[in-house]
Amino acid sequence: MMKIDNKITSGQLMAIIVNTIIGVGILSLPRDLVEALKTDGWILVLISGLLAIGSVTLITILVMKYPGKTVTEFGRNLITTPISDFCSILFLIYLLIFSAFVVRIFGEIVKMYLLRNTPIEFIIITMLITVAYIARAGIEAIGKFCVLVLPIVVIPIFFMGFVLLPELDFSNLLPVFKFKITDLLKGIPSTVFSFAGFEVILLFNAFVERPKKTLKYNLIGMVLIIFVYLFVFLISVMVFGVIETTHLIWPSMSLMEVIQFPGAFLENVQGVVMAQWVVLVFSTLAPLIYGSALIFDKLFRGNEHKYYVFPLMPIIFVLALVPDNIATAYDYIGKSTNILGTFVILVLPLLLLVVSLFKKNNKKGAVKNG
């Protein structure tokens, strides 16, 4: 029968990617976009999306050459063990910082909207423990969970647009095409990072059963994300207008305050949206933390990632509490993920791909490890 053998399907990988990417970025995204390009922010979404797709294609092609192996493993073949291990460690640090960032912002928002007086440490610890449970369970559990949760992540966002229909003012999107190219280029770095998360393909493709289809599914996933982001941006601007959107720290959250169900059996839909959002963040954190434990495990050439999960928790916890307040939180962690992120998303895969092509050209009959 289907054994528990740590394999996922490409469909599940797609769900993992979509879930990882849609996390905390979606909350502040409309504001970033509007600050950069005002009503033309949607152009920025499309362009950043295309760049992200480019990167995804790059990464997917790379990992398809080494089915069954994570980047830590095949990196050693390509660019010598010390350098590869160093890169893997950088990747690991990147994942840890990213997780810390996500969990910190998550804590801030839960504190703001749900549990005002609860100390943020409590919120962070409880979330981390819950994520640890699924991270220890392994990639199969994460894959299935992400498929299960995918509709919960995606559908309410479109549903929200439907419900907000009376509040939408399409004219808020005018005027169009009034931006400067320099603004566009300046805006790209911050928006591309709303798409960050797909670098986990580098690690998880190793577990996919039939890797041939991954490219198709990955691209479908990215396109879906572009749609979601586009949608959120459009709704935000249509409801709030450009100026107000720049005022709100988390426009996507403020959107839910505007929703009013006719007949109102729920006075504030806030609660439901917050509940859904906890799931979103959980599904973002789980692959990240699992990925960190995995890298650790592969660095030591082991095969049991379970034991590395709990030790990583304190590290993330401490990192999450480093920024003193919310302003520095976005600042520090945002900046460090920018540098490390570019490395992981762009530099590393490009480097590995180039080297692999080079090696393949040199050696006939490349050694293929199943």
Partner 1 sequence: MDKKVRLCILLIMFLVTSTLPGCWDKVEINERAFITAVGIDVYQPSKDEEKVKGELGMEAKDKYTITYVFPNIEAVGKGGQGQPRFIVASVGMTPYETTRGLRTRLHQVLFFQHMKVLVIGEDVAKDSTMLKEMLDSVERNNEINRKVNVLVAKGKAEDILNVQSQFEPDIGLYISSISEASEGSARFNPLPLGELLKSLHGNKRTLMPRVVPGKNDLKVAGSAVIKNYQLIGWLGELENRGAMFLKNKVKADTVVVIDYDNKVVIPYVITESETKQTGTIEDGKIKLKYDIKMEGDLSQYKMDTSEDVMDDKFLRGVEKQVEEAVKMQLDNTVKKIQKEFKVDVIDAGEYFSKYKPHIWNTVKDDWENIFPDIEIEVTVDSKIRRIGLIK
Partner 2 sequence: MIISTNINRNLEIIKKELVDCDDIVYRPIKVGQKQNFNMAFIYVDGLIDKELISEFGLEPLLLDARENKPNPQNIKDNLLELVEKGNIAVSEVKELKTIEEALENLLIGETLLLIDGYNKILMLSSRGWPMRGITEPQIETVVRGPRDGFNETVKVNATLVRRRIRDTKLKAKYIKIGTRSKTDVVVMYMEDIVNKKLIDEVMKRLKGITVDAIIGSGQIQHAIAGNSYSPFPEAQYTERPDVVAAALYEGRIGILVDNTPFSLIVPATITTLLQSAEDYYGSWYISSLVRIVRFFAIFLCLLFPALYIAMTSYHPGMLPTQLAIYVAATRDTVPFPAFIEAFIMEGTIELLRESGSRLAGPIGTTIGIVGGLVIGQAAVEAGIVSPLMVIIVAVTTIASFAIPNYGLASGFRVLRFGMMAFAAFSGLYGIMLGLLLLATHLVQLNSFGIPYLSPLTNIGNNLRDLKDTLIRFPLQTMKKRPYFTQTIDETRMPGARNQGKKGDNSKDKKK
Distance (Å, whole) CA 106 – CA 27: 10
Cβ atoms < 10 Å from Cβ of 33: 31
Q: Could you give the 3-state DSSP secondary structure of residue 72? A: helix
DSSP codes joined into one string, 84-123: HHHHHHHHHHHHHHHHHHHHHHHHHHHHHHT-TTS-HHHH
CA dist 21 and 56 (Å) reads: 12
Beta carbon of residue 112, minimum distance to partner 1 (angstroms, whole number): 5
Q: Which amino acid is residue 192, in one-letter code?
A: V
Residue 257: which of partner 1, partner 2, none does it interact with, CB under 5 to 8 A by kind? Answer: partner 1
- Name which of partner 2, partner 1, none residue 354 binds, using a CB cut-off of 5 to 8 Å depending on partner kind: none
Contact at 8 Å (CB) between 288 and 65? no
Place of tokens 């590995």: 352
Output the CA torsion sign for 270, 14, 235, 187.
positive
DSSP state of 347: I
CA distance readout (Å), 137 to 133, 144, 273, 289, 350: 7, 11, 27, 12, 32
Question: Which CB atom, from 219 or from 274, has the smaller least distance to partner 1?
Answer: 274
Stretch that binds partner 2, among 11-19, 20-28, 37-45, 226-234 (CB under 8 A): 11-19
What does the alpha-carbon distance between residue 76 and residue 150 come to, in Å, rounded to a whole number? 34
User: Which residues inside 169-228 make contact with partner 1, applying CB under 8 A?
Assistant: 171, 174-175, 178
- Residues 218, 13 contacting (CB under 8 angstroms): yes
| Single residue of 118, 212, 327, 335 touching partner 1 by CB under 8 A | 118
Query: Of 30 and 211, which CB lies nearer to partner 1 in the complex structure?
Result: 30
Nearer to partner 2, 110 or 234 (CB): 110
Binding of partner 1 at residue 161 (CB under 8 A)?
A: no
Nearer to partner 2, 246 or 268 (CB): 268
The DSSP symbol for 164 reads T
Name which of 94 and 113 has its Cβ closer to partner 1: 113
- Cβ 367 to partner 1, closest distance in Å? 35
Q: Which of 56, 92, 124, 127: binder of partner 2 (CB under 8 A)? A: 127
* Count of positions (residues) in the chain: 370
Task: Summarize as ranges the residues that interact with partner 2 (CB under 8 A).
Answer: 1-4, 9, 11-12, 14-15, 110, 114-115, 118, 123, 126-127, 130, 133-134, 137, 140-141, 143-145, 147-149, 217, 264-268, 270-271, 274-275, 278-279, 282
Task: Summarize as ranges the residues that interact with partner 1 (CB under 8 A).
Answer: 112-119, 122, 125-126, 129, 133, 136, 171, 174-175, 178, 240-241, 243-244, 247, 254, 257-258, 260, 267-268
